[in-house]
Structure 1
């Protein structure tokens, strides 16, 4: 299990994006990793500004960039003072999405850390936000930060479906939160249960199917824990009957989890840029931070 060595923390210098920078620095301090603090000045906005100005636009642009650099340097200095981490600074002018993805690729980042909300965030769908667009575009794991970070993650919820990706998600969760307790959740539904009930299958027969499905899931959960070699004292197993999104959000609250680890893509993916429906709803509706850990195969 390779350690996390490099994090990228893009920021638009808003108060909400600041939470992600703090979390990135806390992680870096805990994991012994380096942090690249990135700010991109939108070239489109600069072009618009030039068109509006009657005065020397070049001189004003230089002053603007100088002021931005000062803000980023001040933020980095504060992170060093508070967390003992000295972020590397990366300022760029260009398209925000392209610059973030390109920089993460250039330094081979193990993890992107971004705030759930920045300027123009649309909470219910995340559509149009920089964070979601980067999540769609990048093939690297991303931590979407929603909470103010005060301490390392304590309890991590990992929904599992017993596929190879489930094991990868659990292993990556352990890399990000090595001291945390892990709550493994499997939500199951009996195939065609509604249609069977409509067709007149007795409730006792459906109940028997659910019992069998739960028993099988329990055995697979034990196998997953054994394969991952998780400390038994730091893992909880939960197998519940119900729809995945609902159960994830309910267990997040009931188990008091501060991080959810989930894959980018679910079954039935129609395109490489699409997020799975469960992932999309969890990103929109959870209160905990969300680590989306799918990576395109090399």
Structure 2
């Protein structure tokens, strides 16, 4: 059974969390991306809470700015260091029976950006890391700086930082946001909706999006990891002006990277050289799946995570 709880953190942020399982058991934490919310993990929360699947205490927070979590108005409040602070504080509060350490952190999309940073800078907070289609900052920066293909694939980011982005996204029953979820090639070409995106699921998205879209857009406004916008009126170097120190990039934890190969925004070139940053990585490439692999192939995702968690 999925429960919802508002958890206040010591630094004044409250996170709305979805939970399953018995408190005191080893903790799995799941971080969502944009334009999603914590509810997208419900099936995995229920799966891993079952005794036969590990009996974990499963927690999926809504990131700041999403659903009922705190939503500071200033875009600067969505910088990576603040998101990392939120999740590290949540781990401290929910892993008291396990010396403040997760069994594993599982993350997708923007949640993965937080997870990569947390694993690099505070590895003591987790035993393992699972990343699902979320680029490592080192390879992402390289591709944004040098790959025209990645710059084109990420061009949507510069739409999301527009001051009117929220209003445009909300138009026509969130038409542009549905396009994010149906841009999987096959469905887009056929003009069809993916089978997983049922009317009930759509209503879950509508409920979350109706609470506000500024937090999600502020994630992009706060990050320089996006394509440059040269020349007037912007003169915005974005990723071209970024350098990242090695201590922010090296992840020494056992890490499973599950990567759907039909991700139009995140091409497989982002995997090139990843082992230099993540020496204990297991990489599983999945053909025929898109960025939304968690929805498209939930059994495969659950099985891959289950196998990884079972390794010593």
Same fold (TM over 0.5): no
Q: TM-score, normalised by structure 1?
A: 0.25
- Bigger radius of gyration: 1
The structure carrying a bigger strand percent of its residues is 1
Q: TM-score, normalised by structure 2?
A: 0.24
